[in-house]
Amino acid sequence: MPLALDNLRVGRAYRLVNFGEVRTLKVLEKVSANNFRVKDMDTLEQYELEELLRWGRGSDYDLDEIIE
């Protein structure tokens, strides 16, 4: 079961699966109630989580914390 966006914490890493794309993200800061600035740990690119979810959530949507 995926985490709700309000359960994300700054400084923690998460694995996001949506529409067949798998991304490893680190939350850098909270921008608004349900939006976060994140860093893609594979490409080191920074963007807002809202950009990834803009087109909706696919049937494979999953969001889990990576425990190191």
Spell out the alpha helix ranges (H) of 1-68: 49-53
Domain count, the chain: 1
| Whether the predicted pLDDT of 5 surpasses 90 | no
Specify whether the CB–CB gap between 57 and 20 falls below 8 A.
no
Collapse the DSSP code of 6 into the 3-class scheme (helix H, G, I; strand E, B; otherwise coil) and give the result: helix
Instruction: Tell me which residue range forms the domain holding 29.
Output: 5-65
pLDDT band at 11, cuts 50/70/90?
very high
The average confidence (pLDDT) of the chain is: 93
CA 8 to chain centre: 8
Q: What is the pLDDT of residue 2?
A: 85
